[in-house]
Chains A and B, each alone.
Chain A
Amino acid sequence: MDLSAINPLLFVAGFLVAATPLIFAAIGELVVEKSGVLNLGVEGMMITGAICGFATAVETGSPLLGFAAAAVGGAVLSLLFAFLTQVALANQVASGLSLTLFGLGLSALIGQSYVGIKPPRLGDIDFGLLADIPVIGPIFFTHDIILYLGIALVAGVWAVLKFTRAGLILRAVGESHDAAHALGYKVKHIRTTAILFGGACAGLGGAYISLIRVPQWTEGMTAGIGWIALALVVFASWKPWRALLGAYLFGGITQLQLNLQGAGVAIPVEYLAMSPYIITIIVLVVLSADKSAAPASLGRTFHASN
């Protein structure tokens, strides 16, 4: 075993990258859940975003176009979920599962001809001198724009939820759809918008895996990150900054176990690889005592009866 092989600077920079897909998926799902909808299809939307982004980036040669396509792909898939739960009034748990199963199949189908290809690379932002600052430079100023966009998104969601009327209405709909309806708010429109936003975010997160983190396409490559993002929302008590913190925590763990695998630690690879999932469970257990922060209408179907 050779722990000195782990370069602390690369490790920290690496875990920022590992956390980014989680940030996108979790912040999107947070908004969806704040509106009172539980979308268990995050994994399906992420993997769809991953292949849409990958294919588009390969075909056009532009990673940024790829990310745009990923957002669209995730949103289009989430539209199916919105249709099932908001129009057809289907059970949200079952609909979310169907979305994940469907997304996994669809992505595998689209992705057949993209296996083993290298995608075009998205360059890091040039921060000029900032990147040369010792320690801080290599950690914080050597990344692509999407990573910073993820952090900005968290700040944006936080500000919108806390300070704006749109955020207030979104929270109100998630709190009591009957009351919101009685006051004349269009519950279904608001929820559908939130679902689409969640889909776009999950798509971006997926594309970050296939275009930057790995970067290549393999079937089922999201490997449960969408589900971990769902757990993160609970972990975060539906608070954006805590979701960011949680994403870094999990990004750190993922990166650490990868580094430990590389360093040839005496623990078998399989046990290291299962650690993020086990830690997710442990965190869920520790935090599940307090459910008071959950939106009161979460997971309930709304139908206006007169």
Chain B
Amino acid sequence: MTQPLLDLSGVTKAYPGVVANDDVSLRIAPGEVHALLGENGAGKSTLVKMIYGLVKPDAGQMQMRGEAFAPANPHAARQAGVGMVFQHFSLFDALSVAENIALGMENPPKMRALSQQIRDVSDTYGLPLSPDRTVGDLSAGERQRVEIIRCLLQEPKLLIMDEPTSVLTPQEVEILFKTLRKLSAEGTAILYISHKLEEIRSLCDSATILRLGKVVGHCTPRETSARDMAEMMVGSALKTPTRDSKEPGKVVLTLNNLSARSAHAFGMPLREISVEVRRGEVLGIGGVAGNGQDELLNALSGETLVSPGMLTFDGRDISLLGPTARRELGVLAAPEERLGHAAVPDMSLTENAMLTGAAREGLERSGMLDWAKARDFAEKIIKAFDVRTPGPGNAARSLSGGNLQKFVIGREVLQRPELLVVNQPTWGVDASAAAAIRQALLDLASNGTAVIVISQDLDELMEISDNFAALNEGRLSPTRPAQGLTVNEIGLMMGGAHGMEVAHV
């Protein structure tokens, strides 16, 4: 075997209460596309942060081309030839593409020369991008291109990609894969982090599977079935949600040319959305992040009020009702961001139960709050949804992502909604919690509640939706029955490949 490019052996990193990486070993050859596979919380992010110099291992060795490799910070890692494309948090909205790229380079050339280089690289790798645009105005796919080009300009030996396809349409994924294959053919190794098995099977040469911080297996994805990889990743056979087939009920919610401005400077306004939702129906709304998902949830929950006539619930115009009044009618919601939006991080679960439960659960009488009752309600949620926590007195922040999400969804489900709107119900949640949440949503629908699931996880939407529509640039595509939709059709509903002409192929 040739000398590996990167060789990790026995790498261990512990945080208080949790061992994020336990004796992890990993080898990547030049030009190899290596998958790092694992559930949320398996330790993938910690591992790549160590390679990129953001975190230091407690024990173990890292070698780069046979030499000891211990980057003190990302600058050192970049100098050693490591580039990283982040899932979140590494672009500056108010700065231009060229400025963003300059910030990620060790010795950037003058702005004019840099702009030219950006154009060159984007031509070579089929990633069109204008250097002068403000990043905040770009689509998620275009933002990712900024990050990729930023890495490519450094001519990395190893490119780390953290869940790169979660923000892309299927068409954009194809383009990305072409770029990655080209890079690999040129000798750049790629460490590809994902939990999407089909992608890994089509792209990667080899895979390392992590579970609870430990390496549980290596495999060659092309020769391993997705099911086998999934079981290695999760550690047990997965339960798929079950549902009863039923006739759809009468229309409860009508959106009539709903338009709304975004509260955020770089947000997406909603544009003339019209759709109907029936009792017992699960409407799945797909789309790439940043195409109006947050804004749609806010408009439905009552955080953003819309013009009269745009929202009708059960024959009543609710456009101008605030969140509390809508809850009283049975319109409930669970936003995407758990900490800070759906729940208050530093407050106890009891207080967080009060947050949305006050009106429907009778936790409040003429302004005075009944904390004993709120505590009972919180305990009920914890019990019904198997939320792992010492008790309702614990702060929301102390729960793991999956447990807090179960609490947040459970809080709304137990209030017997007439209509429930959820955004990214299983984002960042481990597989068993995700399955439980999906099952709860399906059970709710079979009892006659109308459910709107906004999600960027297409597999999830296909699994639980009756009907499907996609958000793109703040507009909603026409609704189609979920059954029988092809990936290509879904991709086109999501807007094809943003900013590229190939969408019309």
Residues of A within 8 A of B (CB): 165, 168-169, 171-172, 175-176, 178-180, 182-185, 292, 295-296, 306
On whether the beta carbons of A306 and B265 are closer than 8 Å, the reply is: no
* Residues 261-296 (chain B) with a chain A CB within 8 angstroms: 265
Known contacts A184-B73, A306-B49, A306-B54; is-contact A168 B99 (Cβ 8 Å): yes
- Tell me the minimal C-beta distance from A293 to chain B in angstroms: 9
On whether the beta carbons of A183 and B95 are closer than 8 Å, the reply is: no
On whether the beta carbons of B54 and A296 are closer than 8 Å, the reply is: no
On whether the beta carbons of A175 and B265 are closer than 8 Å, the reply is: no
* Residues of B contacting A172 in the complex (Cβ-Cβ under 8 angstroms): 92, 95, 99, 103
Chain B 376-411 near chain A by CB (<8 Å), digits 1 or 0: 000000000000000000000000000000000000
* Residues of A contacting B102 in the complex (Cβ-Cβ under 8 angstroms): 165, 168
* Residues of B contacting A306 in the complex (Cβ-Cβ under 8 angstroms): 15, 46, 49, 54-55
Measured in the bound complex, the distance between the Cα atoms of B265 and A295 in whole Å is 12
* Residues 44-74 (chain B) with a chain A CB within 8 angstroms: 46, 49, 53-55, 73-74
Chain B 99-126 near chain A by CB (<8 Å), digits 1 or 0: 1001110001000000000000000000
- Tell me the minimal C-beta distance from A167 to chain B in angstroms: 10
What is the number of contacts between chain A and chain B, taking CB atoms within 8 Å?
A: 56
* Residues of B contacting A184 in the complex (Cβ-Cβ under 8 angstroms): 53-54, 73-75, 77-78
Measured in the bound complex, the distance between the Cα atoms of B88 and A178 in whole Å is 9
Show 17 A/B contacts (Cβ-Cβ < 8 Å), sorted by A: A165-B102, A165-B108, A168-B99, A169-B103, A171-B92, A171-B94, A171-B95, A172-B95, A172-B99, A176-B92, A179-B89, A179-B90, A182-B74, A182-B86, A184-B77, A185-B103, A296-B93
Chain B 430-465 near chain A by CB (<8 Å), digits 1 or 0: 000000000000000000000000000000000000
B91 at the A interface (CB under 8 A): yes
Measured in the bound complex, the distance between the Cα atoms of B91 and A179 in whole Å is 6
* Residues of B contacting A179 in the complex (Cβ-Cβ under 8 angstroms): 89-92
For A184, give the chain B residue with the smallest CB separation: B74
Measured in the bound complex, the distance between the Cα atoms of B54 and A182 in whole Å is 7
Measured in the bound complex, the distance between the Cα atoms of B89 and A90 in whole Å is 23
Known contacts A165-B102, A306-B55; is-contact A178 B89 (Cβ 8 Å): yes
Q: Which 3 interchain pairs have the tightest Cβ spacing? A: A184-B74, A175-B92, A178-B89
* 16 extra A-B contacts, CB within 8 A, seeds A169-B103, A306-B46: A165-B102, A172-B92, A172-B95, A172-B99, A175-B92, A176-B93, A179-B90, A179-B91, A180-B92, A182-B74, A182-B90, A183-B104, A184-B53, A184-B78, A295-B94, A306-B55
Known contacts A182-B54, A183-B104; is-contact A175 B94 (Cβ 8 Å): yes
Measured in the bound complex, the distance between the Cα atoms of B85 and A179 in whole Å is 12
* Residues of A contacting B108 in the complex (Cβ-Cβ under 8 angstroms): 165
Measured in the bound complex, the distance between the Cα atoms of B474 and A129 in whole Å is 66
Measured in the bound complex, the distance between the Cα atoms of B136 and A176 in whole Å is 12
Measured in the bound complex, the distance between the Cα atoms of B15 and A35 in whole Å is 30
* Residues of A contacting B104 in the complex (Cβ-Cβ under 8 angstroms): 183
Measured in the bound complex, the distance between the Cα atoms of B77 and A184 in whole Å is 10
* Residues of A contacting B86 in the complex (Cβ-Cβ under 8 angstroms): 182
For B77, B86, B94, B95, the residue with the greatest tally of chain A CB atoms inside 10 Å of its CB is B94
On whether the beta carbons of A175 and B93 are closer than 8 Å, the reply is: yes
Measured in the bound complex, the distance between the Cα atoms of B290 and A96 in whole Å is 35
- Tell me the minimal C-beta distance from A141 to chain B in angstroms: 37
For A293, give the chain B residue with the smallest CB separation: B94
* Residues of A contacting B90 in the complex (Cβ-Cβ under 8 angstroms): 178-179, 182-183
Measured in the bound complex, the distance between the Cα atoms of B96 and A171 in whole Å is 12
* Residues of B contacting A182 in the complex (Cβ-Cβ under 8 angstroms): 54, 74, 86, 89-90
On whether the beta carbons of A292 and B265 are closer than 8 Å, the reply is: yes
Measured in the bound complex, the distance between the Cα atoms of B136 and A179 in whole Å is 14
- Tell me the minimal C-beta distance from B134 to chain A in angstroms: 11
- Tell me the minimal C-beta distance from A189 to chain B in angstroms: 12
Measured in the bound complex, the distance between the Cα atoms of B86 and A179 in whole Å is 10
- Tell me the minimal C-beta distance from A165 to chain B in angstroms: 7
Measured in the bound complex, the distance between the Cα atoms of B86 and A183 in whole Å is 10
* Residues of A contacting B75 in the complex (Cβ-Cβ under 8 angstroms): 184
- Tell me the minimal C-beta distance from B83 to chain A in angstroms: 11
Measured in the bound complex, the distance between the Cα atoms of B89 and A153 in whole Å is 33
* Residues of A contacting B74 in the complex (Cβ-Cβ under 8 angstroms): 182-184
Measured in the bound complex, the distance between the Cα atoms of B73 and A169 in whole Å is 16
Measured in the bound complex, the distance between the Cα atoms of B49 and A175 in whole Å is 22
Contact among A183, A295, A296 for B103, CB-based, below 8 A: A183
* Residues of A contacting B73 in the complex (Cβ-Cβ under 8 angstroms): 184
* Residues of B contacting A171 in the complex (Cβ-Cβ under 8 angstroms): 92, 94-95
For A186, give the chain B residue with the smallest CB separation: B73
For B106, give the chain A residue with the smallest CB separation: A184
Measured in the bound complex, the distance between the Cα atoms of B111 and A168 in whole Å is 12
